[in-house]
Amino acid sequence: MLTKFEKKIISTLQGDIPVTERPFLKLAETIGISEKKFLEILKNLNEQGIIRRFGATLKHQKSGYKANAMVAWKVDEKRVPEVGEKMALFDEITHCYRRNPKKEWQYNIYTMVHAFDEKSCYTIVEKISRAVGVNEYSLLFSRKELKKISMAYFN
């Protein structure tokens, strides 16, 4: 069971973290505790595995990456751990998931690939395909972003 301050800290971290020399001081002030206490609780949440990591979200379109594709891969189930780990090492991949295949859609690994244009996405996927020895895949290009927000667990 999380304490009141643990919930408040998680809540403050769900939004944008201030771009400042001491962002955790600013966040601590918003909930009325010291920066030291904030960091102690944060460290404890991390050690318990409640908070696993922090990540920055890059607005890829604004940074020059105009194309992205979800790539659905059909991988032999026995090879999923090995192939997934290899795929996750590619810098061009930002997400790598295993999902249950369906009779009508047999793909079981999904990766998100970002590139400067669609042709480059194909080139990257071909390189990954050769590296992992998987030839059955389908690229699903993003055409329009309809919604993109982070999950909020506490308010």
pLDDT of the chain, 155 residues: tens digit per residue: 898 889 989 989 887 888 899 999 999 999 999 999 999 999 999 999 999 877 766 666 667 778 889 999 999 999 999 999 999 999 999 899 999 999 999 999 999 999 999 999 999 999 999 999 999 999 999 888 777 766 677 66
Q: Return the domain boundaries, the chain.
A: 4-47, 60-141
> 3-class SS at 82?
helix
The two tokens of residue 6 are: 């643990």
Helices (H), 1-155: 4-13, 23-31, 35-47, 80-88, 118-132
Q: Does domain 60-141 have CATH number 1.20.1260.10?
A: no
Integer Cα distance of 109 and 87 in angstroms: 10
pTM: 0.68
